[in-house]
A and B are shown apart, each in its own frame.
Chain A
Amino acid sequence: MNSQFKRGIIELCALKVISEKDMYSFEVIDQISRDIEVNENTIYPLLRRLTKQGLFETYTETVAIGAPRKYFKITDNGRQRLESLDKEWRSFLRSVLNILDGENNEK
């Protein structure tokens, strides 16, 4: 799969999983890599980029053992972006499926 294309999908997935629950980096990587083969960590740099763009904000929380953990939380801008990417992706998928199922050809 084209890496640029995959990057876009992973961005959408990261927005989605963090919109459901605040997460720390490892949790996000763990969650996404269960369903999508992610090459050598593209997720952490992506989380940083999206945070810089104001789609996530971060806060730290102390844990029983070890250093405090940094959590990612989706912002309002992040939710808007998620909504728009979600729409784009579903419409794109529908178009691809139309072509694959030959619906356009039958018309």
Chain B
Amino acid sequence: MKNKYLADLRENLDLYDMNEAEKNEIIDDYGSLFDDALSKGMTDDEILSYLGKPTRIIRELTEGCRRIKKSSKDSKIIAISPFITLIAYLILGFAFNLWHPGWVVFVLIPITAIVVEMGKNHDEHLTTALSPFVAVMVYLYLGLYENLWHPGWLVLLIIPILGIFNSRRTMKFLELITALSPFAALIVYFAIGEQGYYHPGWLVFFIVPIIGALNEKNIGKLLLTEFLLILGVIGYLYIYYTFDETWIALIAFAPSFAYGLYSGHIQIEFGNDKKMNIIVVLTIIAFILVGVLTSVWSLAWLILFVIPVYSIIRYSPKDTHLIAISPFVSVTIFMILGVLFGLWAYSWMAFLLIPMIAIIKEA
């Protein structure tokens, strides 16, 4: 670990115009810091957090030095990837008539850049960054070839799940489990649902507050909350199966809901940004309405883009709007052309909008 850390640090220092003696001195000093930390009984992760990753500390260490080069091997790999991809695409198209789904090879361009840039720093978010590409490809495969748009979309959950999981170093175990619980519940819900038990299978979502409540420090409050939640679930099932009354069965949750309001675990508020909250609520309603009315869930989810796009427009600097919004526009065009018109062979070109906008903006 120490050798790898120092090697990474050296690689980063080599990107700057700094004399060798100074670089060697820094490497020696960090070697000593590492030894001192080890002698204090710190783990590798703790040391990394204590000393800072080389990519994070390099700016401070090289203050006043000019950046002289990018790693030439990495630059070459990134620069050559579009050409290799294009050749592969043409071979697949002309030789094997695989224009579709041969276009998938273009995804290799951003994937190469991400792997090269993040891989060399052993960034734990590498899999997070790659997950959208892998998830969308698997999703499209399931949809196009197996006609499993639903529940195939569940594979998209791998994106937030990996995002949370890869942040585990900064989270306590209970926080990690709490953050992952909604996704686990959703997957279990659809697994049960597909067996014909969507109702009362939705009760599985109670695992979220049941786990979430474990974060409560006061043991009395914790036990009461858990008891009322479990009582609610059991009560609901009892009333539902005894009297076959769904709405009346909901009464079973009244005690836990009332206690949640009383204890402050449940808060109904509109926050400071009322406009944003209204947009969120309206967007979710529109998503559900469009989905239910048209059953085209494979497109309906695009409505949810309104939320990040609105927040970009509202909170980010004006001159970055176009670039920041372009991925959402591209995905929307990509999905509409693909799902509505079956033009998957061409719709990928929508992604070219992203670099095009960036180039025009920088010109």
Which chain A residues have a beta carbon within 8 Å of chain B's beta carbons?
A: 24-26, 29-30, 39-42, 44-46, 48-49, 66-67, 69-70
**Chain A neighbourhood of B7, CB < 8 A:** none
| Nearest chain A CB to B218 CB, angstrom units | 27
A40-B53, A41-B52 as given contacts; A24 in contact with B32, CB under 8 Å:
yes
**B56 is an interface residue with CB less than 8 A from chain A:** yes
* A69 engages B61 (CB within 8 Å): no
* A40 engages B32 (CB within 8 Å): no
| Nearest chain A CB to B208 CB, angstrom units | 31
Which chain B residues have a beta carbon within 8 Å of chain A's beta carbons?
A: 26, 28-33, 35-37, 39-40, 49-53, 56-57, 60-61, 63
* B29 engages A70 (CB within 8 Å): yes
* B32 engages A69 (CB within 8 Å): yes
Tell which of A24, A41, A66, A70 touches B51, judged by Cβ atoms closer than 8 Å.
A41
* B50 engages A29 (CB within 8 Å): yes
The total number of A-B Cβ pairs within 8 Å is 51
Task: Give the CA-CA distance A66 to B32 in the complex, in Å.
Answer: 9
**Chain A neighbourhood of B35, CB < 8 A:** 66-67
**Chain A neighbourhood of B29, CB < 8 A:** 25, 44, 70
* A45 engages B32 (CB within 8 Å): no
* B63 engages A40 (CB within 8 Å): no
**Chain B neighbourhood of A44, CB < 8 A:** 29-30, 33, 51, 57, 61
**Chain B neighbourhood of A24, CB < 8 A:** 32, 36
* A40 engages B52 (CB within 8 Å): yes
| Nearest chain A CB to B174 CB, angstrom units | 22
**Chain B neighbourhood of A45, CB < 8 A:** 57, 60-61, 63
A40-B52, A41-B50, A49-B63 as given contacts; A25 in contact with B32, CB under 8 Å:
yes
The secondary-structure label for the interface of chain B is helix
**Chain B neighbourhood of A39, CB < 8 A:** 52
Can you sample 29 A-B contacts with CB below 8 Å?
A24-B32, A24-B36, A25-B32, A25-B36, A26-B33, A26-B37, A26-B40, A29-B50, A30-B40, A40-B51, A40-B57, A41-B51, A41-B52, A42-B60, A44-B30, A44-B33, A44-B57, A45-B57, A45-B63, A48-B26, A49-B63, A66-B32, A66-B35, A67-B28, A67-B31, A67-B35, A70-B28, A70-B29, A70-B32
Q: Which residue of A lies closest to B37 (CB)?
A: A26
Tell which of B36, B49, B56, B63 touches A26, judged by Cβ atoms closer than 8 Å.
B36
* A25 engages B33 (CB within 8 Å): yes
Task: Give the CA-CA distance A26 to B39 in the complex, in Å.
Answer: 11
Task: Give the CA-CA distance A30 to B57 in the complex, in Å.
Answer: 18
* A67 engages B32 (CB within 8 Å): yes
* A40 engages B49 (CB within 8 Å): yes
| Nearest chain A CB to B206 CB, angstrom units | 37
**Chain A neighbourhood of B60, CB < 8 A:** 42, 45-46
Task: Give the CA-CA distance A29 to B47 in the complex, in Å.
Answer: 12
| Nearest chain A CB to B19 CB, angstrom units | 13
| Nearest chain B CB to A69 CB, angstrom units | 6
Closest 7 CB pairs of A and B: A40-B52, A45-B60, A26-B36, A41-B52, A45-B61, A40-B56, A41-B51
| Nearest chain A CB to B345 CB, angstrom units | 46
| Nearest chain A CB to B9 CB, angstrom units | 11
**Chain B neighbourhood of A66, CB < 8 A:** 32, 35, 39
Given A25-B36, A45-B57, A67-B35, 14 further pairs, Cβ under 8 A: A24-B32, A26-B33, A29-B33, A30-B40, A40-B51, A40-B52, A41-B50, A44-B29, A44-B61, A45-B60, A48-B26, A49-B63, A67-B31, A69-B32
